[in-house]
Amino acid sequence: MPFVNKNKSYSFNMTIDTSLAALSSFQASEILISNKSGENLYIYDNNLVTDDRRFLLEDNESIVLRGITNTNEVSAKTGANSGPVYFRSAYFSNLNQF
C-alpha cells in the first residue's frame, strides 16, 4: 500500500480591525501568525477573550501557537485601525497511513 501523507498546511491572510474576529477555519495543530497590520495585534485562544488571557504581537512580529485542533480556535483584533495579518496553518499527524 502507498504511504498517505495526512499532514496539511494552508496559507491565508485577513484584514483585522478592532472587532474580535475568529480566524478562517482549517484543521491545524499549530499556526504561524505574522502581523503586518501597522498596529498592535491582540491574540486570544480557546474563547478566553479577557485582557489577562491575550498575547500582544507588535507590528512586524511573528508568533507560532501550538496545541490547537482548528485555526478558528484563535481570534485576533488590533488596538486601533485595521491592516493585513498573514497566517500559515500546519497540521501534523503521527498516525501515518499505509
Residue pair 96/56 in contact (Cβ under 8 Å)? The answer is no
Q: Which domains does the chain have, with CATH numbers?
A: 12-91 (2.60.120.10)
- Residue located via cell numbers 496553518: 89
**pTM above threshold 0.75:** yes
The shares of helix, strand and coil residues in the chain, as percent rounded to the nearest 5, are 5, 50, 45
Sheet holding 62-66, edge to edge: 8-16, 83-91, 30-35, 62-66
Confidence of residue 75 (pLDDT cuts 50, 70, 90): very high
What pLDDT was estimated at residue 7? 77
* Terminal Cα distance for the chain, rounded: 6
Which tens digits make up the pLDDT trace of 9-52?
899 999 999 999 999 998 899 999 999 999 999 999 988 899 99
